[in-house]
Amino acid sequence: MNTKILVLGGGTGGTLVANLLAKKLKGAADITLVSALSRHLYQPGWLYVPFGWQDPRTLSRSLKSLLNKRINLEIGKAAALNPDTQIVTLEDGSALGYDYLVLATGSRVTPEDVPGLAEGGYHFYTEEAAWRLHAALEEFQGGKIVVGVGGLPHKCPVAPLEFTFLLDEYLTRRGIREQSEIVYTYPINRVFSIESVADVAAPLLEERKVRAETFFNLESVDPHKKMAYSLEGTELPYDLLVMIPPHRGAKFLENNPVADAQGWVKTERETLQVKGYPHIYALGDTTDLPISKAGSTAHFEAPVIAERIAASLEGRQPDPKHATYDGKVMCFLEAGYNKASILNFDYNTPPTPPAPNAFIHYEKMAFNKAYWYLVPTGML
Ligand SMILES: Cc1cc2nc3c(=O)[nH]c(=O)nc-3n(C[C@H](O)[C@H](O)[C@H](O)COP(=O)(O)OP(=O)(O)OC[C@H]3O[C@@H](n4cnc5c(N)ncnc54)[C@H](O)[C@@H]3O)c2cc1C
């Protein structure tokens, strides 16, 4: 009987790892990918949807169309994992056994973790939410917009900053920037978790006349009074609240032996094996690794998992070139007005972002289009 490889999640990490395995193993194992959605979503594009600069319908494709023909695709939601019996149960009750399991179920937003946030706040971290925010922004005629981070960790750490810079541009283009105040909140004592990025972003915020409210850990929102409250005792009135909700891992992972109470999977930082379960791997947002939850993270992690599983199946040592994840991440940082910077870093080397320029912005625009051909397929 063929070895069974089960991949959970059809986003950036799951699609790529399944395709890399199919190419490497050429039928020597049965690969099944289970995903809750039949579409693959390009989430970075949601950043532009609130401003009407991107049609959300162009940001998803059929997952099947992105998968190697050797991969069995099942659409269904994992409801339970027993890592000892090696069985995953789906919501419809069907049970799937595996020899190797790859967890790539990403992260989910949980606005319900903050009282009043679901009713009082907007965000752009789901397709629906980005579109809803677009409608709210189109109606906005001036006033106070509070943009912030409602909990750490969250995916795409730079997106709230990017949104703020693009919001300044959007309001300026609409001719209502003078009648608007933008406040940016962040939970720690600077405007971004990584100091070198905060050093570049803080003066840019100042230049754009955005007031930064640091040490703002969102405690609750009063949608009727239109107030946001922090644990530190700050009270912020708003006309429009754009707050990135807290995140968790997939529901079925919360409190599972492989994960913590928030559903973040306990992952070895270099091999990407799940702690205590060497036949289970994790990549992308779902890990508890001390590195950005970003598509590029999943992109750089996938070859490590594919090589390790292939080597184990073939009874050889993994190729040292691909056997270790060094924490590599690459993120663009949109700064508005057709300029962007870029962050390259890993576990040991912090980023040194260059001053925003047009070249990097157009690189990002090109990447947004090329993603479909390069990333999930494993071409890049
Ligand atoms: C607004 C925004 C902008 C961003 N910009 C960037 C950027 O510029 N650069 C960058 O690198 N990253 C960016 N990201 C982050 C990036 O999109 C994610 O980090 C990336 O998609 C993570 O990949 P993943 O495979 O771990 O999870 P996902 O791509 O989220 O995929 C998770 C998959 O698991 C499936 N799933 C979930 N639960 C279950 C379950 N119980 N059973 C079965 N399937 C399940 C989902 O349907 C989905 O297919 C951005 C994100 C947002 C929201």
Closest atom of ligand 1 relative to the 10 alpha carbon: 49
The domain limits of the chain are 3-106+250-314, 111-244
Going by C-alpha positions, the residue among 338, 342, 335, 337 that lies closest to residue 365 is 338
pLDDT tens-digit map of 22-78: 999 999 999 999 999 999 999 999 999 999 999 999 999 999 999 999 999 999 999
Atom 8 of ligand 1, residue of closest alpha carbon = 44
Instruction: Give the burial class of 23: count Cβ atoms within 10 A of its Cβ; 0-12 exposed, 13-18 middle, 19 or more buried.
Output: middle
3-106+250-314 against 111-244: fold identical: yes
Output the six-digit token pair for 135: 């409608």
SS3 176: coil
Predicted TM-score (pTM) of the model is: 0.97
The CATH class for the domain spanning 3-106+250-314 reads alpha beta
Cβ 264 under 6 angstroms from ligand 1: no
pLDDT tens-digit map of 161-178: 999 999 999 999 999 999
What are the respective helix, strand and coil percentages of the chain, to the nearest 5? 30, 30, 40
pLDDT tens-digit map of 293-320: 999 999 999 999 999 999 999 999 999 9
**Architecture of 111-244 per CATH?**
3-Layer(bba) Sandwich (3.50)
Under 8 Å between Cβ of 252 and 148: no
Q: How far is the CA of 42 from the centre of ligand 1 (A)?
A: 8
Cβ 327 under 6 angstroms from ligand 1: no
The whole-angstrom distance between residue 197's C-alpha and the CA centroid of its chain comes to 18
Cβ 267 under 6 angstroms from ligand 1: no
Low-confidence residues in the chain, pLDDT < 50: none
Cβ 80 under 6 angstroms from ligand 1: no
Going by C-alpha positions, the residue among 97, 103, 89 that lies closest to residue 8 is 103
Under 8 Å between Cβ of 228 and 221: yes
Amino acid, single-letter form, for residue 253: L
For 299-317, letters b (16+ CB in 10 Å) and e give: bbbbbbbbbbbbbbbeeee
Strand partners, 73: 33
